[in-house]
Amino acid sequence: MTELNIPGTQSTPTIHGDWPAGVLAMQGDSYPENSFELFGQVIDWVERFLREEARPLALELRLLYLNTSSIKALMDIFDLLEEAHRDGLPVSVSWHYDSRNERVAELAEEFREDCSFPFAILPFSE
Amino acid sequence: MDNYDLLAMREHYNRQRIMLCFNGPISRSLIEEIGNALRNYLAAEQAQPSAAMDVFAVYIEMTQNIRHYATRMNYPEQDAAATVSISRDEEGRYVVAAGNLVELDDGRQLVDWIANLAGLDKAQLKAAYKEQLRRPRDDERASGAGLGLLDIARKSSAPLRASLKEQADGRAFLSLRAVI
């Protein structure tokens, strides 16, 4: 099982892990009551990719509102990337946000403060 | 019981500038549905996207805290109830308030903790938030609500307010109020 496909709902993001391409994409709002039911499998996927592959892994994010439990889960994912980066693995994050909503940029910026791998915060306008 | 004074309720809500309120057992899907209604109201009022997101976030953290607490305490469904209101104050700022029944000791602990938060500035709140974020999941505060409350405090433009009213059954009604 190298494909990861989790359809989004009102309160959970759409998640797609493309193993051959080395891309993990997540988009939408994330405020489930129990973020671990959702992100546990994403964390497993990232851990496995970093363990088995020496290729680049890129996170493509268009996440919007995250509740604190999702923030905690996402921090765990970034911690895995940070560890991999220190071991010399090529990892990166691109977080795209609607330029009308600065809150999303601020949220991404707070994550970036704790990361030393390439982490881009990119505005788009509709 | 055949004559609820709906007009008095309506006048009370209008006077308090309450946009949306709820009282009763609260489920996961109800939190989402009320959240939807809230987002629609905020969009109709043309709130800034960032302000709308803050109000929504505070609403979600408060109500999910209440659900988590009731689950952790194994409260039966009628005790897993919440009283929630979203209104605007005289200056037009959004006010999110939520209340629920808690064990008296838990309530006291939480009220003290929230009183301490009032003395922290934005930078100190951020530091406390980041520290809480890094804490292992099984080592959350006794209240279990630490991270959510710190997030609410950071999104508020005035210190969080909490009050506790003892009830006959040894529990207490905890009210939280955040001004965004």
CB–CB contact B67 A67 (8 Å)? no
Whole-structure pTM value:
0.93
What is the mean pLDDT of the segment spanning A81-94? 97
Please name the residues in contact with A37: beta carbons below 8 A apart, sequence gap of 6 or more: none
DSSP line for B24-61 = EE--HHHHHHHHHHHHHHHHHTT--HHHHHHHHHHHHH
CB–CB contact A103 B56 (8 Å)? no
What B132-139 contacts at long range (C-beta under 8 Å, 24+ apart), as own/partner pairs, is B133/A68, B133/A71, B133/A72, B133/A75, B134/A75, B137/A72
Q: Are B156 and B74 in contact (CB under 8 A)?
A: no
Name residue, tokens 């546990």.
Answer: A40
Chain A to chain B Cβ contacts (< 8 Å): 45
CB–CB contact A103 B49 (8 Å)? yes
Query: What are the chain B neighbours of A67 within 8 Å (beta carbons)?
Result: 57, 60-61, 64, 148
Q: Which residues pair with B82 in a beta bridge?
A: B24
CB–CB contact A31 B36 (8 Å)? no
Q: Which ipTM score applies to this complex?
A: 0.93
Q: Which residues of A66-77 are buried (b: 16+ CB within 10 A; e: fewer)?
A: bbbbbbbbbbbb
Tokens of A67: 């509740």
- How confident is the model at residue B169, as a pLDDT? 87
- pLDDT tens digits, chain B, 180 residues: what are they? 456 789 999 999 999 999 999 999 999 999 999 999 999 999 999 888 999 999 999 999 999 999 999 988 998 877 789 999 999 999 999 999 999 999 999 999 999 999 999 899 999 999 999 999 988 776 554 445 689 999 999 999 999 999 999 998 889 999 999 999
Averaged pLDDT of chain A: 95
Q: Are A31 and A66 in contact (CB under 8 A)?
A: yes
pLDDT category at A1 given cuts 50, 70, 90 is low
Tokens of A125: 């306008």
- How confident is the model at residue B142, as a pLDDT? 43
pLDDT of residue A52 exceeding 70: yes
DSSP letter at B175? E
Please name the residues in contact with A51: beta carbons below 8 A apart, sequence gap of 6 or more: none
Please name the residues in contact with B39: beta carbons below 8 A apart, sequence gap of 6 or more: B52, B56
pLDDT of residue A63 exceeding 70: yes
- Which of A33, A98, A110 lies at the smallest CB-CB distance from B67? A33
Q: Which residues of A14-50 are buried (b: 16+ CB within 10 A; e: fewer)?
A: ebbbebeeeebbbbbbbbbbebeebbeebbebbeebb
Please name the residues in contact with A45: beta carbons below 8 A apart, sequence gap of 6 or more: A4, A17, A24
- How confident is the model at residue A73, as a pLDDT? 94
Residues in B whose CB is inside 8 Å of some CB of A read: 28, 31-32, 36, 49-50, 53-54, 56-57, 60-61, 64, 67-68, 130, 133-134, 137, 147-148, 151
pLDDT of residue A126 exceeding 90: no
**Burial (CB count <10 Å: 0-12, 13-18, 19+), residue B42:** buried
Q: Are B112 and B141 in contact (CB under 8 A)?
A: no
Question: Which residue, among A84, A82, A13, has the nearest Cα to A42 in the 3D structure?
Answer: A13
